[in-house]
Structure 1
Amino acid sequence: MLPNSPCAAETSPPPAPDGLLGALGVPEPEERVYLRVLARPGRTTDRIAAELTLGAEFAAHTLELLAERGLVRRQGVPPAWSATAPDVAVEALLLRREEELCRTRGRIGELMRTYHRARQPSAAGLVEMVTGRTAIAERWRSMQEGARHSVLLFDKAPHIMRADPGAELPLLARGVRMRVVYEASTVRAPGRLAELREFIGAGEEARMLPELPCKLAVVDDRWAMLPVSNGAELRGALFVRPSSLLDALVAMFEVYWHRGLRVPDADDPGRVAGDRQRELLTLLSAGLTDDSIARQLGVSPRTVQRWVHEVMDMLGARTRFQAGIQAARAGLL
């Protein structure tokens, strides 16, 4: 039979756009039958089966599936098959497929939770969240008591408890090295600097900065504690075990430690009784206001202002910040 004969045209369905119906969930055998009905409406089931060389039962079953999809319908007597207008039928299939995709997208979160649960054994316990001030305070106390050689701290509000000499001084006494960077706002309360002096006198190494990125505590490179989020109230904290995250937190501490200004001991060599210069420079460089410095030093704000001008003149500085930088470079801090 020649390809261009009338009989060949009768039995050859038009080519389908690649992947059109397959993308809508219609398998290839159904697509072949649908395209035959689309191109040659009014065929009976038996004739469609014969033209496509299909079994009669398979053709009938396939046509019923297409009817359920809304692509074809049975008409007339004897019953024959016609295609539903594609702009109606295919559009309906598209809408159903879009709904299915939206439902699948909505389950991505559930699938990800399953994914992470299946991999927990390889990262079990690296990060743990503890909620509630009491629970966080108890965990921090147990971390302090278990410290062996070092404790690193960013002292920043909010505080879950006041500094406890009963917990810190024994650590220093048994040789645990404590390095603390204080945010300026944490030492503005009256008497707070005197508390720091007690710890510094016992061996704590202390520095100050105007601002810190977050609260942080690292014990022996084995544990780190930091808040879930920064805010006015500490409701949750993350406890991190040895991992690349813990290494990154230690590295961050070292960066801020080297930027901080040292809080001098009251018994620093070369400091004479009544000399407030170093203390003034420390508080000034940490960003405290004149009123806050006055409360810390037990003098009036006017006296602080006079001392600040004297120090600026001595250092040849035009601003308070510049005075702090030049004091640090001159080794006065």
Structure 2
Amino acid sequence: MSGTGMLAGLGLGAVEEQLYLRLLGVQAADPQWLAAQMNLQTSIVLAALVSLAAQGLVEACAAGAWAAVPPDVAVEELLLRREVELRRARGRMGELMRAYRQGRDGSGSDGPAEVICGRRSVAELWRTLQQGVRRQLRVLDRPPYIRRSDPQTELALLARGVTTRVVYHSQVLRDPERLAEIHSFTTAGEQARVHTELPLKLALLDDRWALLPVSAGTELQSVLLIRPSTLLDALAGLFELYWAQAMRLPALPEENPEDRHRRLLPLLAAGLTDESIARQLGVSTRTVQRWVRELMDRFGARTRFQAGIQAARAELL
């Protein structure tokens, strides 16, 4: 039997979760009745009841019956215990990292920097660090332009209140698609500036980590992970220096939606694919799809064909 997953984050197994949810719907029940209802052996149900009782979720009643403890009391207490366990585990992170480094190089020293090699390892590290950032993310972003992350990850950071400041190399102003994406970030709360000269790519996450490439190649094959140290402080100072010197990001040029639609419609009418239209207009396929959706919304059309008919009636074709 598989659990619903509703309480999986509290460490309950599938049987324990199903049993607790079953007991929430009755005043009390004996193990034999529960076993019959759940198509399980009575011994399995008894073991799950004992485990739930140890976690404060159920309690024994008279005549061998069991009852659920109200969730506003039981689940809250369980959540508090889990939080204590997580804080204790986080406190042992230094010890775990020493063991990790000792296994790598035979030393247990806490060095300020570690080299991470391989594009996949670098990408996984970046995702992990982003998920762990709590207060602020600071970035110097210069060519080669490798995406910092999925745009949704960036937007999720901003949504949970992470202060994000980015200094972009001025070369980004010549890339309309990248510039449009950056403006979507600034609309969501990112603070962005541009600078004509950036010495390196750099990411600072809270005051705990920094990432920078080992070399200025065309791909991020290896990075340095910097931990709290004078080096990390120096990199933070470098970011603040370039932030103070940088200019505000210019606004996107205004484009009349009707002009955009007039460029798009003949290509749609010609039966070109989104990819072909994107190449013709010098934009991304995702942008073409967004424009098509915008056009359909404008005319209240459910299909592209209907949008084309409405556009012809409006003399846009």
If the length of structure 1 is used for normalisation, what is the TM-score? 0.43
Larger Rg: 1
If the length of structure 2 is used for normalisation, what is the TM-score? 0.45
